Amino acid sequence: MSKKILKIFPEYYGFLSITYRVANKKNIFPYEINLGLAGDRFAESVYFKKVFKQSPYSVEIKNLCL
């Protein structure tokens, strides 16, 4: 499902945050999609620090300037 969503934005280079919801342990569907940094404090302070050696904001600015 994420691949289908990514195909909607073929020219976008940057962060894309997709939040999924699980209903009845069977149905999984996206219910929130954010282009750019999502403003999620957990993602910014925990996840991104482990993935990127530099600030995720610096990465996003570089992507926007391509």
pLDDT, one tens digit per residue, over 1-29 is 888 888 888 887 777 788 888 888 788 88
> Tell me, what's the pLDDT at 39?
61
Residue range of the domain that includes 56: 2-64
Query: How many domains is the chain partitioned into structurally?
Result: 1
Q: Which residues fall within 8 angstroms of residue 37, CB to CB, at 6 or more apart?
A: 15, 17, 44, 56, 57, 60
Phi and psi dihedrals of 21, rounded to 5? Answer: -120, 140
Tokens 């990465």 -> residue: 59
pLDDT digits (tens, 9 = 90+) for 25-52: 788 888 888 776 656 666 666 667 777 6
More confident residue, 53 or 29: 29
Strand partners, 35: 16
